[in-house]
Amino acid sequence: MHRSLIGIAVLLALAGCSYREAARPPVRSAAVPVVWLRSETTSRAAETSFRRKVVEIAMAEWRRWGAQATHRNGPKQNHAGYAEWVAHYWKIATGRESRAAWSGAFVSYVMKEAGADSSWPGTGSHAHYIKIATQNRARRSGHFWARRLTEYSPRPGDLVCNALEGGIDFDNQPDRSYASHCDIVVDVRDGWIAVVGGNLSNSVAKRALMTDFDGRLVNPQPRAFDPAVRNWFVVIETRL
């Protein structure tokens, strides 16, 4: 009897040792939620008044440019009346009008119109405000902090940024200006974030980016969602 009990205990122990929880994949294998992406409303409310204003303004500009779920249709910068809006983005962002590459000016326009304080730099350069946010985080000051993709889950009102040059990551940001791009997070759901950006094929567009099971941005993105396979390397957390 005693030996039988020992045998049963050994078998149970071996069974326990042989069991392993199946490893979950890093991301959900789901098709992009097109209906959600095209929606003119958001499914998750922003957490602060400033964040709500950022989302509202970004969505309003997205609708102004035809509510595009991709950047392959809808009004472009050279269509009647839209070049003036580009100049307006630059004017609010930097104090001067321009019609140059304007994705950075678009982001700064949204932030300033939402009421960002002086810790948001008046710039049309993504690289500039990424650098400022990185310094803010290191000094634990200001209201815009750079976060690693692996440590922070983007929320509505944050920014997600990529480098368009090689050799750049969170720990290796050149002091010079470099080609980069940031989009504004306007909505979050399981497995995805919806972002709005300017100067996407000379327009304003919304697109989906994939996140992992913890809500963190996946890098690189699948080619279906980011054909250029950009180097997403930083989230700018809004702390207002």
8 Å CB contact between 86 and 102: yes
What 3-state DSSP class applies to 153? coil
CA distances from 213 to 80, 126, 134, 189 (A): 43, 28, 26, 11
- The domain ranges of the chain are 27-238
Per-residue pLDDT of the chain (240 residues; tens, 9 = 90+): 445 544 444 444 444 433 333 344 455 545 666 666 777 777 677 789 999 999 999 999 999 999 887 645 555 666 666 777 778 877 877 766 655 678 999 999 999 999 998 889 888 889 999 999 999 999 999 999 999 999 999 999 999 999 887 888 888 888 888 889 999 999 998 888 999 999 888 889 998 888 999 999 988 776 666 666 678 999 999 999
Q: Which residues contact 172 (CB under 8 A, 6 or more apart)?
A: none
CA distances from 61 to 46, 56, 205, 207 (A): 17, 9, 9, 14
pTM: 0.80
- The pLDDT of residue 55: 96
Residue 24: how many other CB atoms lie within 10 Å: 9
8 Å CB contact between 63 and 40: yes
Q: What is the spatial distance between Cα 143 and Cα 118, in angstroms, rounded to a whole number?
A: 9
